[in-house]
Amino acid sequence: MALIVCQQVETTIPIEVAGITPDALSGKSNKQIAKLPIRHGRHELELGELFKVSGSLSDSPVESSNDSAKASPTIVFDGILEPVHWIGSGLKSGTIQIETPAGRHIGSQMSGGRIMCKSNVSDYLGVEMTGGSITVAGDAGDCVGGHYQGSKFGMNRGSILISGNVGKGLGQAMRRGTIAVGGHAGELVGWNMLAGTIIILGTVGEHVGASMKRGTIVIAGSTAPQLLPTFSSGGSYPVPVLAMLANWLEQQEFPHDVSCLRSKYHEFNGDHLNGGRGELMVRAETISK
């Protein structure tokens, strides 16, 4: 049975729960867990003052039919989570399952483990993560897989799979890892991207790939994006690596038809203002002749 942490207080004041992760709670009783410090606005409270703690932090399977899913120490966050931020921040191992719409900074700077979000999440999902995986059944906000002000690098290993739409700044300064989006993305996808792979099955906003140095952005939607003039056009061809990524996404139970990744893609190289070694792969059939 998983440890259940249920937020039951209606509030518009932000709640910060950084450090409430399976690896950090190992060996603690529910009574000890309920006394752990969290923040409610400017005030420090005990976790048990806003959350009901029940169940047990023990090896337990999470909800998945994926054969690769194994039992792991699991925390389930439930209740009123929209004002709750930093869930899973710094996660190193174990599983966190988020049952309802939740706030900002989920999985920020995590280095391992899994986070499974069953609904929408807010901004800064997976910021500066260095390992592990995040899945989101709904939409996500701005700066997914990006970085905080003053930092040089965004996401650096791991995977983020989002079923719905995302906001602006997806994968900014991304260094490694894989992000897949089943819906649409806002402007500045891959801004200042250093490496890694971003896959978008829908449309993208303006300035996709701006200032990217390396890395690959795949745009598989039915409408071609408006690209910056600092990208040069290459040829159209099937891309075996994208077919491999389609196979991998299917293995991860990504809830979208990814067969479009096995089509022909048109390559654009850029941003030539920043070395021109990045790749934009646009579904060939959407490119005007």
Render pLDDT for 168-196 as a digit per residue (tens, 0 to 9). 999 999 999 999 999 999 999 999 999 99
Mean pLDDT of 24-44: 96
- Checking if the pLDDT of 65 tops 80, the result is no
The amino acid sitting at 253 is E
Indicate the pLDDT class of residue 68, thresholds 50, 70 and 90.
very low
| pTM, rounded to two decimals | 0.95
More confident residue, 66 or 126: 126
Q: Which of 13, 172, 177 is nearest to 83 (CA)?
A: 13
Q: What is the DSSP letter of 144?
A: T
- The pLDDT tens digits for 108-126 are 999 999 999 999 999 999 9
Mean pLDDT of 99-104: 98
Terminus-to-terminus CA distance in the chain, angstroms?
A: 58
Cis peptide before 271 (omega within 30 of 0): yes
Q: Give pLDDT, residue 70.
A: 57
Q: Give pLDDT, residue 33.
A: 97
Q: Which of 208, 116, 126 is nearest to 163 (CA)?
A: 116
Distance in angstroms (rounded) separating the CA atoms of residues 250 and 105: 27
Backbone angles phi, psi at 94, to 5 degrees: 90, -175
- Checking if the pLDDT of 256 tops 80, the result is yes
Q: In this structure, what is the dihedral angle of CA atoms 23, 27, 33, 36, given to the nearest 10 degrees? A: -70
Distance in angstroms (rounded) separating the CA atoms of residues 230 and 246: 29
- Checking if the pLDDT of 288 tops 90, the result is no
The amino acid sitting at 53 is V
Q: Which of 87, 158, 89, 164 is nearest to 119 (CA)?
A: 164
CB of 229 within 8 A of CB of 209?
no
Cα distances (angstroms) measured from residue 226 to each of 21, 63, 209, 287: 42, 40, 11, 11
H or E stretch covering 244: helix 240-251
Distance in angstroms (rounded) separating the CA atoms of residues 34 and 93: 21
Distance in angstroms (rounded) separating the CA atoms of residues 145 and 164: 15
Count CB atoms within 10 A of the CB of residue 227: 20
